[in-house]
Structure 1
């Protein structure tokens, strides 16, 4: 078991243990051989049932033996010629009830044996005279011994389904388990699956009704202050707080975000809010061409052979005639000068651009939770280890992001960085990703010198600057990726360029002063200008692949090891000449 110190055995004990193991192995092999012999002879009888039972009590995880045993049981359960219906049902009940005794014995050997739990459910579902209360009590007893036994939780759900138990009864059971132990993560999880059934939101805007969500949030501080380091209640509260988010959706329905065409109208790009398959794409978008030309859509993803993607591309053969969007009646699209369309309202929602009503009861409950977290952080600061502050600071920050991201910018950034580098460094990338998402949202809702929102400027001219934000990821831009033609990522913390295929229309890219050791995975078919000034590239093979790009006309590599080495710079020029490219190499700033 975990955290139990092993006691070293003496030589005599080791010898005795080895002897016992050898004896068990001989017994196992003898039983296995007998079972195999009868199986080959197709002797599915009582003797085989006894043999499989004997071996399974010793080794409960032999799933092939359980499969064989079920075959034997199904044959033995068949109705006999001279048997009445009542006699047949009673005999079947006795037969399958015996499996409950066997599986209980197996679970005493290994309480987390998937095979044994599955077989118990299979047998119980075939018993007519079922003792539901006995099974529920058995589950409760098993969960009191180990509340994290998810096999047992699955079995209890099966019993509740067979017995048609009202979800309210199961909610009371989860209350009982949580009351006995706030650290019972599985009980909290079970609760989150029951509440949407018992208290659905009439508008289906959030997972449960606002009134119930407020009540749940009100009770959370009791668990927080009992054991601040336990994750169970904190993770449950994250589910509740997420309902306050503008981007929360009970069921994320596919929505078309944009249809964009390139300048030559030879390629068309469709972007969705969720990954969709080809069928879903075809149901939403219909492109008609002059003449007898079909439109073949291809997903744009980092991974080959993918069938689902947010971004799809089609190369148009022939003259473009018209574009139809099936859900245009329910979604308002803004037409672009280039001929494309954009669902601006949905993009605003995704990137938290517009302010929302902050006087709802749910918002007030989240605000109260924020204050409770602040009080707990003050109590824990100073005399606790950094790990104890992880969950309170995370939840406090999460609430601030939902309540007022613009007004709490300094606190949010400071807390995310403390979580990444002090309180929870093992999950550093998760917090860095959250910080990147927050900073991208902040940039997009900010305004330029003319008072225009950056996101509106991007939609209009395809240009976006995210300079000096210390971003480690720009994956959050995927919903805008087909709109972007010029992207400035200078002064960030990017270490690879695998994300760039999601920007298929990119023509200008600035990656200056990023800790990039290589750009060998950079693929942008329409790229005209690339700048990697101040990056960590040091060898010709770190960049030579980009020199094969047909559209590239300028390559800036100032302040790199390549620019400081005459031989390496000359090698780049030689590659360009050999490939017949017309690329201007910019080695030094003018």
Structure 2
């Protein structure tokens, strides 16, 4: 092939041989690690050293990280049971103690060495003055010396030999005393945190080879949980340094969020940090996602002031980088979160509807629709459930095992006897509209009117002005970009119903925007269709019927209805699961996927 250099066969064979050799070495090391772990008691240090070798170069071996955690916990137990236990070598203990400043660093200067040598030389030449013989005695011995007489050791020679014998005996006694004394540690033993520091350094080296290693980052988080005093400020600095190399590394962002929680840093500090990162790179999706998580972890509630500030800040980014979807994605999430924050409803206020259906195989069949999903155990707190004589099936879930752990927003109930859950309770609640015949229909009309409300969203004047300004900017960008950019078009369709409400005119404009978006971004056609579905359904339910006496939604409160709809996403029908039905004759021509969606949200009733 062109532009590809031919490889010598000998070079290829050499590389293959080298690769095979490396594989054999890694396999041998792996087997040795498993063997050591199998007999870990007393071999903890050996295991840590062996696993450290392989994890430095292959950090994604999650099994070895797990084994290493178990060994660390085992060492911790031993250190707590026996304070003298340690896996550190003597030289490591000394080096660590010097590093901490627990013992002085014994560095002798050249001058001190010279002075010591000089003192020893003087002592060897003259010795102690008190131990030298009297000079007069030495001179008398010298004068009386007779060469013809047999040799006799002079007093000086006898003195020197005697002194040497005494010195040797003293050294021997001193040596015996030294060896007889018990060995005392020269410095304090390392703590368990010191051992964790070694593993922290190991994870750093592993992340140097693979900065996106799940295993290494998870191990680092595990270490922080074991520290008696975790070095959190150091970890923040490491995160910031890592982001300078790869500002989109979501592993670093996720780890930073964990450290920030431990440090109890304020939300404003982290929002300011993410703002700086976004200013450096507006396409940094990880920084935008981090900003989202900071807002959620602050309690999940976005105040009017916070919303206005965020919209103004992100609008500047959208205008400058209108073709980049990251900022548009963030503002879409922000608006949806602010206006559609999921409420937590409990007890009867969580019930949307309770309706009777046609009997199935001789059994009574009723449907319970909830706003928030609940388990049967949670339902028992405010509903009279006869679990022995009633069969509860969560809509869309095939299993009926361990129903106490299954949560659902739509429950189908089957029973041989009539199903009475909370008749008296619902009748005392003003939010419910009650129909007793021909079939029971207990409906939380207040809640359904709120879900499918056509009115503009309630908002403060500051928020309304902010949204209108943002909408105008989107319109200007559409003209400047000649309607070639889907992001401002899609946001226009999203914001318009919020400030103008839902009616026939709004539906037409939203459809127009979304058709433009599908033209320049056909890959997201289904997403744009799903956006239109909610607008179309809400507008349909608010249409006047019966000579203007009722809306379609109000008519559904009285009796079940049959709607002719062709949606891309039928999840918007979920709250109406107890009010409308899917008839077999009307669904045979629908695609299988759509039939499956309808069956998930609506009961199937035969004609």
TM-score norm. by structure 2 comes to 0.72
Q: Does 1:450 align with 2:522?
A: no
Offset, 1:399: 0.7
In structure 2, the residue matched to 1:513 is none
Alpha-carbon RMSD: 3.4
In structure 1, the residue matched to 2:266 is 166
Moved more, 222-231 or 249-258: 249-258
Q: Does 1:371 align with 2:472?
A: yes
**Is the alpha carbon distance of 1:194 and 1:331 closer, same or farther for their aligned partners in structure 2, counting shifts above 3 Å?**
farther
Q: Does 1:280 align with 2:281?
A: no
1:378-389 to 2 correspondences below 5 Å: 378-381=479-482, 386=484, 389=485
In structure 2, how many angstroms separate the alpha carbons of the residues matched to 1:49 and 1:9?
Answer: 44
In structure 2, the residue matched to 1:91 is 191
Q: Deviations over 1:257-285 (max 9, x none)?
A: 01112477933221112332222333343
**Is the alpha carbon distance of 1:492 and 1:240 closer, same or farther for their aligned partners in structure 2, counting shifts above 3 Å?**
farther
**Is the alpha carbon distance of 1:311 and 1:69 closer, same or farther for their aligned partners in structure 2, counting shifts above 3 Å?**
closer
Higher helix share: 2
In structure 1, the residue matched to 2:212 is 112
In structure 2, the residue matched to 1:134 is 234
CA contact (8 A) 2:36 2:46 kept: no
**Is the alpha carbon distance of 1:7 and 1:68 closer, same or farther for their aligned partners in structure 2, counting shifts above 3 Å?**
farther
1:60-99 to 2 correspondences below 5 Å: 60-77=59-76, 78-79=78-79, 81=82, 83=84, 90-99=190-199
CA contact (8 A) 2:217 2:251 kept: yes
Q: Does 1:439 align with 2:536?
A: yes
CA contact (8 A) 2:486 2:520 kept: yes
Q: Does 1:461 align with 2:556?
A: no
CA contact (8 A) 2:355 2:578 kept: yes
For residue 283 of structure 2, give the secondary structure of its aligned residue in structure 1: coil
Name the larger-Rg structure.
2
**Is the alpha carbon distance of 1:82 and 1:239 closer, same or farther for their aligned partners in structure 2, counting shifts above 3 Å?**
closer
CA contact (8 A) 1:465 1:488 kept: no
**Is the alpha carbon distance of 1:355 and 1:60 closer, same or farther for their aligned partners in structure 2, counting shifts above 3 Å?**
closer
Q: Deviations over 1:9-37 (max 9, x none)?
A: 64146555434422321221121122122
**Is the alpha carbon distance of 1:33 and 1:112 closer, same or farther for their aligned partners in structure 2, counting shifts above 3 Å?**
same
In structure 1, how many angstroms separate the alpha carbons of the residues matched to 2:275 and 2:189?
Answer: 38
Q: Which ranges in structure 1 are unaligned for 5 or more consecutive residues?
A: 1-5, 201-205, 506-523, 529-590
**Is the alpha carbon distance of 1:313 and 1:221 closer, same or farther for their aligned partners in structure 2, counting shifts above 3 Å?**
same
For residue 369 of structure 2, give the secondary structure of its aligned residue in structure 1: strand
Offset, 1:65: 1.1
**Is the alpha carbon distance of 1:17 and 1:170 closer, same or farther for their aligned partners in structure 2, counting shifts above 3 Å?**
farther
Bigger relative contact order, structure 1 or 2 (CA pairs below 8 A, ≥6 apart): 2
CA contact (8 A) 1:286 1:325 kept: no
**Is the alpha carbon distance of 1:35 and 1:308 closer, same or farther for their aligned partners in structure 2, counting shifts above 3 Å?**
same
1:350-361 to 2 correspondences below 5 Å: 350-354=451-455, 356-357=457-458, 360-361=461-462
Q: Does 1:333 align with 2:432?
A: yes
CA contact (8 A) 1:61 1:116 kept: yes
Identify the match of residue 447 of structure 2 among 346, 369, 374: 346
CA contact (8 A) 2:563 2:580 kept: no
CA contact (8 A) 1:473 1:494 kept: no
In structure 1, the residue matched to 2:310 is 216
In structure 2, how many angstroms separate the alpha carbons of the residues matched to 1:504 and 1:269?
Answer: 10
TM-score norm. by structure 1 comes to 0.74
Identify the match of residue 312 of structure 1 among 380, 402, 411: 411
CA contact (8 A) 1:139 1:156 kept: yes
| Number of matched pairs | 486
Q: Which ranges in structure 2 are unaligned for 5 or more consecutive residues?
A: 87-101, 103-186
Offset, 1:478: 2.1
For residue 545 of structure 2, give the secondary structure of its aligned residue in structure 1: coil
